[in-house]
Amino acid sequence: MSSETMTVFSPQLAARFDALVQKYPLKRSALIPMLLYAQDEVGYLSDAVIAEVADRIGITELELRNVATYYSMLRFKPVGKYHIQVCTNISCMLRDGYAVYERFQDELGVGPTGTTPDGLFSLQEVECIGACSWAPAIQVNYEFHDELKPDLVPGILDSYRKKDASAKGEKNA
Amino acid sequence: MPRLVSHPDEVKIVSKRFGQGAAQIDKYIELGGYQSVRTCLEKGPEWIIETMKASGLRGRGGAGFPTGMKWSFVPKQSAKPKYVLVNGDESEPGTCKDHLIFLHDPHTIIEGTIIAGLAIGAKMGFIYLRGEYRYLLEIMEKAVADAYAKGFLGKSIFGSGQEFEIITQTGAGAYEVGEESALMESLEGKRGVPRIKPPFPAVVGLYGGPTVINNAETIATVPHIIAMGGEAFAAAGSPRNGGTRLFGISGHVERPGVYEMPMGYNLKKLIYEVAGGVRNGRKLKAVVPGGSSTPVLLPDEIDIGLDFDQVGKAGSMMGSAGVVVIDDQTCMVEFALRTIKFYQHESCGWCIPCREGTDWLKKSLTRFHAGFGEAKDIDNIQYLAENMLGRTFCPLGDAAAMPTIAFVKKFRKEFEDHLNGKPCPFANHAQIAVL
């Protein structure tokens, strides 16, 4: 499929995918990056995303789903605009990662795993994110925040609320 | 932004360009970068492998296999293309050293990859980063593009007429993919389940071609070895354990961080002097010396040198050199539960002893920590873990079983203190929600 035909992706991403399938000695090596980049744009691996990526790689949707379900970052349901991933693995746990996690739950009122009604934030407990010496750490989408304390949680949430408001302001201007 | 730390006992070889802007290619060159690869183009593959053997460098991913020997296993003639694969899937809890290399010194990864390629006669290298490291992947991608623009990568690297291409790749969340054969499966666009060995990757690897797979830190060390000489690098470490290593210290210490210490550096000194000792004036209870899969050490077991052999002799493993320090206010049953919860989550499900074993261990430990354990459970947990050992394709089963066995053996009394409906004796425990 070329970017000129029907696509669920933006023209930029479609063009990127056209290049990506040429990049490797074997086309299928592009599969996992494509799924992740598709998810970044669409929000999750919708049926339409799965159908198009499978077609671009030249595998069946079943084969694609078989691969995609293996990877913990790939998801089949939408999450919030800012997806908060709190590490509670050993190094973070020892430095109060669970208290940080609980504070996020309290501030957002979404329970251990959930999305705020406005769709702005979602919360998830995750395994080690490779920031152990700067624990406790979280990722909001791909952004790291480290050396956290529960009291820093409201400020982090506010910074993303502001980011969202200014993004909306630019859009309307 | 990860905080950089420093201590006078450090010997900075791999980390010497950290914090100096070496992610910019011109800065990297100014600091002596891309000289080693030029030397290697002149000297040729045999010299490179001899230098690597002389350096005593052992794999920094955790297994500690001698790098020079690994490279020498790749057949000189091959009908299929050969590949270099850099493992930046850093996922072992307690480990964050590669994070800093990708952030501060991406070009040393590129240079090391080219050198490995020259040594084994490969024309293509892959640099695989875990999916969570997106900002580091972007740094790496820019570095690769800059190296292409300068002619350091491409059809004729450094005008030598030799070709070398580098492709960066992202994972999408899977600890298991850090195992070398699972890594190749993932790079081929499949589920990251391990392959049976033999054949070993040096003979049949990526796309069926001979492949050398090295940890990112191992590759980052290579240009420094070429620059300083194999013998000089070896001399910086302890016998049979060449050079230095990046130790990621985390947990209950005053000054956590990634410190580059000579191999053989004393673990007790590392905790009490380099990392400032146990924080808040508390006492030491336990140390996990090399990432979450390595058996725990007691305070009276840590007066040892940190190298593959000495930590092995103490009954544990040096692993990924992620040192996790635990204070006396920590519940070890809970720590064991959090550790096994991770392995249960990450088991790929391919081998039954791992898939079922981690699940049963998690269930048993959850029930036990909640106060519903029975005396026989303590032995059962150990028995279950012991029966996982050596019965799986890849080391994940062992990685889950080994620490569990050590927790039960070394902290049996804490397990007993949870019996008969008694609540966890540690007040500020973490309330692990098992979802």
CATH number at residue B271: 3.10.20.600
Other C-beta atoms closer than 10 Å to the C-beta of B358 total 28
Grouping H, G, I as helix, E, B as strand and the rest as coil, residue A20 is helix
What CA–CA distance (Å, rounded) separates B292 from B275? 19
> Are A98 and B432 within 8 A, CB to CB?
yes
Same domain? For B118 and B253 the reply is: no
Determine, yes or no, domain membership for B208.
Answer: yes
Same domain? For B212 and B255 the reply is: no
> Are A24 and B167 within 8 A, CB to CB?
yes
Structural domain for B166, as ranges: 25-235
Same domain? For A46 and A94 the reply is: no
Chain A residue with Cα closest to B428: A96
Distance from CA of A154 to the nearest CA of B (A): 19
Same domain? For A53 and A135 the reply is: no
Same domain? For A147 and A101 the reply is: yes
Rg (CA), chain A: 18
Determine, yes or no, domain membership for A22.
Answer: yes
Determine, yes or no, domain membership for A47.
Answer: yes
> Are A143 and B135 within 8 A, CB to CB?
yes
Same domain? For A86 and A64 the reply is: no
Chain B residue with Cα closest to A25: B207
Same domain? For A155 and A117 the reply is: yes
Per-residue tens of pLDDT for chain B, all 435 residues: 899 999 999 999 999 999 999 999 999 999 999 999 999 999 999 999 999 999 999 999 999 999 999 999 999 999 999 999 999 999 999 999 999 999 999 999 999 999 999 999 999 999 999 999 999 999 999 999 999 999 999 999 999 999 999 999 999 999 999 999 999 999 999 999 999 999 999 999 999 999 999 999 999 999 999 999 999 999 999 999 999 999 999 999 999 999 999 999 999 999 999 999 999 999 999 999 999 999 999 999 999 999 999 999 999 999 999 999 999 999 999 999 999 999 999 999 989 999 999 999 999 999 988 888 899 999 999 999 999 999 998 999 999 999 999 999 999 999 999 887 777 777 655 566 554
Size of interface A-B (CB pairs under 8 A): 164
Determine, yes or no, domain membership for B62.
Answer: yes
What CA–CA distance (Å, rounded) separates B79 from B210? 10
Q: Which residues of B touch A75 (CB under 8 A)?
A: none
Structural domain for A154, as ranges: 82-172
What CA–CA distance (Å, rounded) separates B169 from B126? 7
The helix (H) or strand (E) run that includes residue B28 is helix B25-30
What CA–CA distance (Å, rounded) separates A143 from B133? 9
Same domain? For B186 and B161 the reply is: yes
B21 CB contacts (<8 Å, ≥6 apart)?
B27
A1 CB contacts (<8 Å, ≥6 apart)?
A7, A52, A55, A56
Q: How many CA atoms lie within 13 Å of B84's alpha carbon, on the beta-carbon side? A: 31
Same domain? For A46 and A98 the reply is: no
Grouping H, G, I as helix, E, B as strand and the rest as coil, residue B111 is helix
> Are B338 and A93 within 8 A, CB to CB?
yes
B96 CB contacts (<8 Å, ≥6 apart)?
A130, A131, A132, A133, A134, B2, B90, B248, B250, B258, B322
Same domain? For B121 and B217 the reply is: yes
Same domain? For B121 and B219 the reply is: yes
> Are B99 and A135 within 8 A, CB to CB?
no
10 Å CB burial of residue A8 (0-12, 13-18, 19+) is middle
Same domain? For A163 and A92 the reply is: yes
Q: Which of B201, B235, B269 is the last residue of a domain?
A: B235
On the question of pLDDT at A1 being above 60, the answer is no
Q: What pLDDT score was predicted for residue B435? A: 42
* Interface confidence (ipTM) of the complex: 0.96
Distance from CA of A128 to the nearest CA of B (A): 5
What CA–CA distance (Å, rounded) separates B206 from B250? 34
Tokens matching residue B338? 């959090």
> Are A91 and B342 within 8 A, CB to CB?
no
Q: Which residues of B touch A36 (CB under 8 A)?
A: 131, 170, 172
- Model confidence band, residue A6 (pLDDT cutoffs 50, 70, 90): confident
Determine, yes or no, domain membership for A76.
Answer: no
Distance from CA of A93 to the nearest CA of B (A): 7
Q: Which residues of B touch A143 (CB under 8 A)?
A: 135
- Bridge partners, residue B88, by sequence: B129
Same domain? For B84 and B161 the reply is: yes
Same domain? For B193 and B257 the reply is: no
Determine, yes or no, domain membership for B10.
Answer: no
Same domain? For B211 and B315 the reply is: no
Same domain? For A58 and A27 the reply is: yes
Q: What pLDDT score was predicted for residue B425? A: 77
Determine, yes or no, domain membership for B142.
Answer: yes
Same domain? For B54 and B176 the reply is: yes
Same domain? For B337 and B322 the reply is: no
> Are A142 and B132 within 8 A, CB to CB?
yes
CATH of the domain at B37: 3.40.50.11540
Determine, yes or no, domain membership for A77.
Answer: no
The helix (H) or strand (E) run that includes residue B38 is helix B36-43
Domain count, chain B: 3
Domain count, chain A: 2
What CA–CA distance (Å, rounded) separates A69 from A55? 18
Chain A residue with Cα closest to B259: A133
Picking from B89, B92, B99, B132 by the largest number of A CB atoms within 10 A of its own CB, the best residue to mutate is B132
Determine, yes or no, domain membership for B300.
Answer: yes
A134 CB contacts (<8 Å, ≥6 apart)?
A146, A147, B2, B3, B96, B256
Tokens matching residue B7? 């201590």
